[in-house]
Amino acid sequence: MPDLYAVIGNPIAHSKSPLIHAEFSRQTDQDMRYEALLVPLDGFSVAVEAFRKFGGKGMNVTIPFKLEACKISTRLTERAATSQAVNTLVFDDDEILGDNTDGIGLVRDISSNLDFMITGKRVLVMGAGGAARGVLLPLLEHQPKVLTIVNRTKQKALELYQRFFEYGFVIPAGYEDLPGHEFDIVINATSASLSNELPSLPPGIFAAESLAYDMMYGNGSTPFLKFARQQGATHLSDGIGMLVEQAAESFFLWRGLRPETEPVIAMLRPET
Ligand code: NDP
């Protein structure tokens, strides 16, 4: 019987994780199966328990269960504890280890795949939801010159500042505070692209040779990436690389092996 893994969420039909993990296990010759589990909004913990009892070895967790996954974990890694969001569960006897691989996925995509340095740069993270929280600590570990968190509801940016200021130079902001400031890396961690919207970014925020990164993937160029191109950002990326890199880190936690990510990113990225 192959080792059993799953991604759990609601909705889940759009998830590319089963495809990615099938590729990873084929590459590394692992005897494992990886499925997508759709569960009712009030059924997360029951579904996890049933999966564990059935012999499941681990899970990826996606919208809207990342906070709940944090609560049911019996042990958390530091990156999961600081973000209070879990996207990877590892089951080992009675222990449920909760980790968050979103941030390391983003940082690897930016620094290795896109070959763009984070250290010493002015970084703007847009959004204060689960995705934003998960990437702040890994970004700060690369010692940017300054990391500004901007959110539509400014209070949430302030709350994130309180949680992360001890890890680096962090500034909380509302969009109205941005005019007059330039950034080398602008990361869209809002869900605005999902509804084809552009957060209220002012002109002039992209420094020369800057990177615009949209965590959203799969729908071609987003309003944010179009705006960034018009505003002079020279490096543009969607979130496919992050998606594959976070999956690779989960795979490593479960199997102790690092799959090759480049061919999987190429496979998922539509021809431009
Ligand atoms: P959440 O629902 O937790 O957070 C949404 C955030 O977006 C909030 O900060 C919200 O602001 C902000 N927002 C929504 N609409 C707008 C708007 N029109 N203008 C400005 N801000 C807006 O979502 P997640 O954090 O879980 O996900 C965010 C995005 O990241 C999604 O597109 C998701 O697909 C992507 N993602 C990609 C991953 C990858 O591997 N590539 C991994 C994880 C996520 P407010 O607080 O004011 O409501």
Query: Rounded to the nearest whole angstrom, what is the distance from the C-alpha of residue 207 to the centroid of ligand 1?
Result: 24
What pLDDT band is residue 270 in, cutting at 50, 70 and 90? Answer: confident
What residue ranges line ligand 1, CB within 6 angstroms? 63, 102, 105, 127-132, 151-153, 156, 189-194, 197, 199, 215-217, 239, 242-243, 246
Phi and psi, residue 250, nearest 5° = -65, -45
pLDDT tens digits, 57-87: 999 999 899 999 999 999 999 999 999 999 9
Cα dihedral: 204, 208, 209, 212 (round 10): -10
Question: How far apart are alpha carbons 171 and 157 in whole angstroms?
Answer: 9
Task: From 265, 250, 152, 150, select the one nearest 217 (Cα to Cα).
Answer: 265
What does the pLDDT average to over 219-236?
94
Measured distance CA(95)–CA(148) in Å, rounded: 36
Count other Cβ atoms within 10 Å, centred on residue 146. 15
Confidence label for 229 from pLDDT (cuts 50, 70 and 90): very high
Closest Cα partner for 204 from 263, 265, 124? 124
How many whole angstroms from 3 Cα to the centroid of ligand 1?
33
pLDDT at 271 over 80: no
Residue 205 in contact with residue 183, Cβ under 8 Å?
A: yes
pLDDT of residue 194: 85
Q: How far is CA 70 from the centre of its chain?
A: 15
Amino acid type, 234: T
Amino acid at 77: T
Q: Which of 16, 57, 66, 121 is catalytic?
A: 66
Among the ranges given (93-97, 155-159, 192-196), the one the predictor scored with the smallest mean pLDDT: 192-196
The pLDDT tens digits of the residues spanning 249-261 come to 999 999 999 999 9
At 85-112, the pLDDT tens digits run 999 999 999 999 999 999 999 999 999 9
Quickly state the pLDDT bin for 272 (edges 50, 70, 90).
Answer: low
Q: Rounded CA gap, 127 and 214, in Å?
A: 11
Ligand 1 atom with the shortest distance to the CA of 217: 41
Q: What is the pTM of this model?
A: 0.95
Name 106's Cβ contacts closer than 8 Å, sequence gap at least 6.
135, 138, 139, 187, 213, 215, 239, 242, 245, 246
Task: List the structure tokens of 14.
Answer: 């759009």
Position 230 confidence tier, pLDDT thresholds 50, 70, 90: very high
Ligand 1 centre and the CA of 192: distance in Å?
6
Report strand pairing: 75-76 vs 122-126: unpaired
Q: For residue 219, name the pLDDT band (cuts at 50, 70, 90).
A: confident
